[in-house]
Amino acid sequence: MRTPQVAGAGADRSVTIYEVGARDGLQNEKTTVPTAIKAEFIGRLVEAGLPIIEATSFVHPTWVPQLADAADLMELLGERGKDMPVLVPNERGLERALKLGMRHVAIFGSATETFARRNLNRGLDEQFAMFEPTVRRARDAGLDVRAYVSMCFGDPWEGDVPIEQVVEVGKRLFDLGASQLSLGDTIGVGTANHVTALIAAFTEAGMGVDQLAVHFHDTYGQALANAHAALQSGITTFDASAGGLGGCPYAESATGNLATEDLVWMLHGMGIDTGVDLAKLVETSVWMAAQLGRPSPSRVVTALGAEFAT
C-alpha cells in the first residue's frame, strides 16, 4: 500500500492519537450498530495500533440510544476494555462505569449556555454542579478523568464564542481534577489562526500544551489544517475517528470527526511517529463502511481503500 514520502524534521516528535470513532462516531449513526460489530471494530482498532480508544458512553440511554448497550459492549471487550475511556456525564453514569471496573472516564462540558442545555439538560453554571461530585468520586476511586469542552470555536445557536469564555469554562472543567482538557470544535467551524489563538490563550491562563488535546470535526473541511496548526502550537494529543465517522446528535450541523487515516498520513509524512499501522486502519474503516452501508468520508480511506474492498 502506498505510504507518504517522509520529508522534514519531525522524527524526534511523537504524538498520541485518541481514537473516538467507537463513541463519537457511532453515537450519531441513524441505526444502532450491533454490539458484536462495535466490539470487533474496537478489536481491529487495537490491532491497528491505536493507543487510546474511547469505547462508549454511560449517558442516559434514551438520550443516546446508539450507545445504550455500553455494559454489554464492556462485557464483550473483557479486561482490555477497562483501560478504554468512556464518557460519563454525572454520578449515575460514573456508578455504572465503576461497577464495570472502568479506569478512565471523561466528562463533557459546554462553553455555551445553549449547548449545555441541549446536551446536558443543564445551564452553563449548573453543569459544574453535576460534574464536581462526579469528578471527585472518580478521583477518590483512583480513576483518571479527561474533560471535554465543546463549542470552542462557534455554536450553531449562539454564533461566535469568545475565546475568554472558552478559556474560563475549559479551565474550570480541568480544575475539577482532570488530567487533560480536550478542546472540541463540535460543529467544525474553526480555522487555523483561531486554533493558534485559543491554544495561546489557554497557555497564557497557565495550562501546559501537554495538558491540552484537540478534537476537530470536519464539517467545513478544516479539521486537518486545524490539526496542523495545533501541532505547530505544541499539542501532542489529537482526537480523531477512524474513517471520519462522527458527530453529535445534539449539535445541529455537526458532521464527522477528523479522520484518523488523514491525520496519520500527514503525521507520518512529517516523520512523526504515531504507532499506527495505516494499512490495518484503512482496512478497518473499509470493513466498517461496509457494515454501515456507506463509504467513508476520509480522503485517505477513499484513496487507499480499494485493495481492501470485498
* Positions marked catalytic: 248
Q: Which amino acid is present at 283?
A: E
| DSSP structure class, residue 149 | E
Binding to ligand HMG in span 142-161, by CB under 6 A:
148, 150
**Amino acid occupying residue 162:** P
CA torsion angle 275 276 278 282 (round to 10): 180
Q: Identify the residue among 86, 120, 145, 281 touching ligand HMG (CB under 6 A).
A: 120
Q: How far is the CB of 168 from Mg ion (least distance, A)?
A: 21
User: Considering beta carbons, is residue 93 or 184 the nearer one to Mg ion?
Assistant: 184
Using CB under 5 A as the binding rule, whether residue 218 contacts Mg ion is answered as no
**Can residue 155 be called a binding residue for Mg ion (CB under 5 A)?**
no
Taking CB under 6 A as the criterion, the residue among 17, 39, 59, 189 binding ligand HMG is 59
C-alpha count within 13 angstroms, C-beta hemisphere, residue 182: 27
Question: What residues pair up with 155 in beta bridges, in sequence order?
Answer: 159
Which listed option, Mg ion, ligand HMG, none, makes contact with residue 131 (CB within 5 to 8 Å by class)?
none
DSSP string, 188-234: S---HHHHHHHHHHHHHTT--GGGEEEEEB-TTS-HHHHHHHHHHTT
Distance CA(100)–CA(110), nearest Å, equals: 27
SS3 121: coil
Residue 255 interaction partner, one of Mg ion, ligand HMG, none, beta carbon < 5-8 Å per kind = none
Q: Which does 143 bind (CB under 5 to 8 A by kind): Mg ion, ligand HMG, none?
A: none
Please answer whether residues 50 and 19 qualify as being in contact, where contact means their C-beta atoms are separated by less than 8 angstroms.
yes
Choose which of 18, 108, 131, 202 interacts with ligand HMG (CB under 6 A): 108
By the rule CB under 6 A, 69 interacts with ligand HMG: no
Binding mask 15-34 for Mg ion (x = CB under 5 A): ---------x----------
Q: With residue 59 as reference, give the H or E element that holds it.
A: none
Applying CB under 5 A, the residues found at the interface with Mg ion are 24
Applying CB under 6 A, the residues found at the interface with ligand HMG are 24, 27, 57-60, 63-64, 87, 89-90, 92-93, 96, 108, 119-121, 148, 150, 184, 186, 215, 217, 248, 250
